[in-house]
A = this chain, B = another copy of it.
Amino acid sequence: MRSTMQGTPLTVASILRHGVEVHGDRRVITATGDGFRRSTYEQVGRRCGQLANALRRLGIAGDDRVATFQWNNQEHLEAYAAVPAMGAVLHTLNIRLSAEQIRFIAGHAEDKAVIVDSSLVPLLARVLPGLDTVKVVLVTGDDGDLAPLEGSGKAVLRYEDVLGAESPEFAWTDADEDAGAAMCYTSGTTGDPKGVVYSHRSLYLHSMAACTGNGLGIAEQDRILPIVPMFHANAWGLPYAALMAGAELLMPDRFMQAAPLARMVHTERPTVAGAVPTIWNDVLLHTDKDSGLDFSSLRLVVCGGSAVPRSLMEAFENRLGVTILQAWGMTETSPMASVARPAVTAGPADAWRMRATQGRPVCGVEMRIVGDDGTPQPRDGQAVGELEVRGPWVTGSYYQVDDDARFHDGWLRTGDVGHISAEGFLTLTDRMKDVIKSGGEWISSVELESALAGHPDVFEAAVIAAPDERWQERPLAAVVLREGAIVSPGELRSWLSDKLPRWWLPERWTFVEEIPRTSVGKFDKKVLRGDYADGRLKVETLE
């Protein structure tokens, strides 16, 4: 029996239309270094029309890819909305990748045009000649030298000039909701980057999920500060969710250091902000120096990208009165898959325990833990295995790459290892490739790192597997101390001793200036393992 419902597709065009028609007076506010510039969604909607007309005139047709090489600002939002809404595909390039990776990714996606921030022109100039498929470059901002882009053989135009010549009216595309709307490449530490193609449907549903009360509860009264870059998994979907809800967007542009961010929170009063733990750690340190800052507008700080140490959450709660909400996801999951809101029925101690996990799946996403033999494991908080996920905003393949090993019976194999409690809370203990297997049992590098980060002298710590004759592998802790702090491995080991099983405690310790990171800011343990193997780390071994 068919339903009688309308077949209205879920599209980015309808998000844009809703934001502009129903919430047209809400604003996008972009940092300029010495102040802010402000536009309403109604104005953004008109500029989206101009951008779409301009791209059409410049030859963008069908599902052509339009790349962005931009900070978090109004113009990036315009590309987010206009490119998919005109039927083309938005491709957010990660400005922090190597030139070689960018060339590979832009070539693999066959990007036809690039929109670039004027401040990023020098960076783009280094790779542009190798971007064979790119025909047109639009440079946002009315300052900046275009000379570095000349001689690349591409048409190089100023974004504002081009938009100024166009009509704000455009007939947005309400096409097939399963068509590609946006792309993002994952930059694993091994192999070529792989592309995920989000559909109109997946972006729409993910935005709705972010607006639900069990998600982030985004609504018109919110003012959202996405610090996570818009070239990382759609800035966790915050820009689309804001447009859908009519929430205001506070855009930090390139002013992403702790001082201007903290100042932006103080003056522009966001209700929700999202960033990786490192940023919040920096912001917390900054508030030690600049204690007059008011963070009371923040009802929620969303934190993800890597495990959030409980000590960081407690410091935010106790010192700033701000709740950090841990969320988990990956590029392949759009990314919001789970959110660590404690169960309503939990007491304070249980609530803290739940908040320190990766959380419960948002409705739409299903999760399971699978053992070595591929069978689903019980939800008992004990059985450890690989996390698999499925749902309408989870990828089922990679763009033009066969990688069947990453999928299992229609579920995505995440490459993460962990367990799920009887209450449904996911705890990730490791990446598959970072697992430490000691005497046949798993040791969680993530839990060791989180416990170490709670020590007052520790800024951060990474734990890797060191080959061991007797146990096959044993943990090695690489620790970054806070400025001026002095502490011994023995003291750190005894700090851990009442928090974790005795046989987990590392014998091998090294103090480093910083932990090597991937282009998306995660610990690069492959580099660390290589440094250790090649004898580049100065390691102390406890008895």
Contact = CB atoms under 8 A, between A and B. Distances in A.
Interface of A: 1-10, 14-15, 17-18, 21-22, 24-26, 63, 89, 178-181, 195-199, 201-202, 205, 208-209, 211-214, 217-222, 244-246, 341, 343-345, 360-361, 363-364, 366, 390-399, 410, 412, 423-424
Contacts of A423: 25
Given A208-B209, A214-B245, A246-B344, 4 more contacts: A5-B393, A6-B394, A24-B424, A211-B213
Contacts of A392: 5-10
Given A213-B213, A361-B22, A197 B3 contact: yes
A219 to B, nearest CB: 3
Contact of A89 (B1, B181, B199, B398): B1
A202 B5 contact: yes
6 contacts: A6-B394, A6-B410, A8-B391, A211-B214, A213-B220, A214-B220
Given A6-B390, A366-B17, A1 B63 contact: yes
A42 to B, nearest CB: 11
B25 A180 contact: no
A424 B22 contact: yes
Nearest to A21: B424
B344 A220 contact: yes
Contacts of A63: 1
Contact of A7 (B5, B89, B396): B396
Contacts of A10: 205, 364, 392
A455 to B, nearest CB: 34
A244 B363 contact: yes
A455 B399 CA distance: 66
Q: Quickly give the copy total for this chain.
A: 2
Contacts of A201: 3, 5
Nearest to A110: B1
Contacts of A244: 363
Nearest to A195: B4
B5 A179 contact: no
A399 B1 CA distance: 10
Nearest to A410: B6
A411 to B, nearest CB: 9
A212 B219 contact: yes
B212 A245 contact: yes
Given A21-B424, A220-B341, A245-B363, A1 B212 contact: no
Contact of A180 (B2, B14, B222, B410): B2
Contact of A220 (B343, B366, B397): B343
Instruction: Find the residue from A6, A8, A345, A366 having the highest chain B CB count within 10 A.
Output: A6
B213 A3 contact: no
A231 to B, nearest CB: 18
Given A208-B209, A212-B245, A345 B199 contact: no
B399 A4 contact: yes
A393 B10 CA distance: 11
B198 A8 contact: no
Nearest to A7: B396
B208 A219 contact: no
A221 B4 contact: no
Given A212-B208, A363-B245, A395 B5 contact: yes
A213 B219 contact: yes
A179 B395 contact: no
Nearest to A397: B4
A4 B212 contact: no
Instruction: Find the residue from A3, A179, A202, A212 having the highest chain B CB count within 10 A.
Output: A3
B396 A180 contact: no
A197 B361 CA distance: 30
Enumerate the 6 nearest inter-chain pairs by beta-carbon distance, A residue then B residue, closest first: A213-B219, A3-B199, A1-B180, A6-B396, A211-B212, A1-B63
